[in-house]
Amino acid sequence: MKKYHTLLYYCYSHIDHAEEFAADHLQFCKSLGLVGRIIVADEGLNGTVSGTPEACQTYMDAVHADPRFAETDFKIDEVAEPSFIKMHCRYKPEIVHSGLRDPKIIDPTKETGKHLEPHEFMEMKDRDDVVVLDVRSNYEHNVGRFKNAVTLDIENFREFPDKIEELAAYKDKKILTYCTGGIKCEKASALLLKSGFKDVYQLHGGIIKYGKETGGKDFEGKCYVFDNRVTVDVNHVNPTEVATCHNCGVTSSRMINCANPECNEHFTQCEACGWKMEGCCSDTCMDHPRKRPYDGTGYYVKVPQPVNLEKIRRRNHLTPARNSPPA
């Protein structure tokens, strides 16, 4: 029986004193017994949290009660155990790192691609005048992607703006963007529009919502998620595997981080190669003096730094309040 819930969500909405908000929000999450990872920026929230159904409901109610986040769309998964070990809530310049922080360039609260509900996306994706565009990183789309999707050779979403020119051949097509939960598409679709693409759409709620509402038809492989589960099943209609082991080439969607912390590459590795290579991607990494002990998971917990609430509040009181973006 699955006793816990995992929530995936984001919301673009300006937050005054966002760094202080992050510290207070961390304490609130801990008071509910939640674990997870939340990014707070001036531009909004991006989070995945996990806990009991009651704690998750209390959290969702509190977020929705704040007028800034009233429209937040939570994707809810039932899980057998919490999807994280600890609770992190950190302030960062963006809720998804794109390098596009200037609202004069793009502002997801004002203009993005047209949102398509999962069934609308499924109905449109195979048309001749449509291109389905995966805006995620290599390690994500290598383990799972929509059939016939265009993928980009990027290690991180911040590289997406540099790939716009490569997509120029599709300017006369309808562009259907997708990502895990929808957050990257908000900025990706906005940038495509800014770059002269006329007909841009995005999958509302991302792959996760698509799987829940359509059965995941034509999503090949597994969906990468940013918690202890690493990947989740999406397609219950016509499932297939697309990922292969980095070392031996056998079909495998099992993802790990290299045991060499100075490499830390995120890659697919079958269980047999995992034990043979001691969780490393190469012989060189196997011989590295700082190699971490391999326990069969390839998952390594970061040690969190304590939050100094008083230091943050003192700094905010000495710094003039940020102006809200123009309406």
Give the residue numbers annotated as catalytic, written as ranges: 179
Phi, psi angle pair for 238, to nearest 5°: -140, 60
* Residue that the structure tokens 């999958």 belong to: 203
Choose among 165, 187, 209, 268: nearest CA to 8: 209
Using CA atoms, how far apart are residues 19 and 308, in angstroms rounded to an integer? 11
Choose among 297, 271, 269: nearest CA to 282: 269
Those residues whose C-beta lies under 8 Å from the C-beta of residue 239, and which sit 6 or more positions away, are 216, 233
- 125 - beta bridge partners? none
Contact yes or no for 146/178 (Cβ under 8 A): yes
Contact yes or no for 128/112 (Cβ under 8 A): no
| Helix residue ranges per DSSP H, 233-306 | 271-276, 283-286
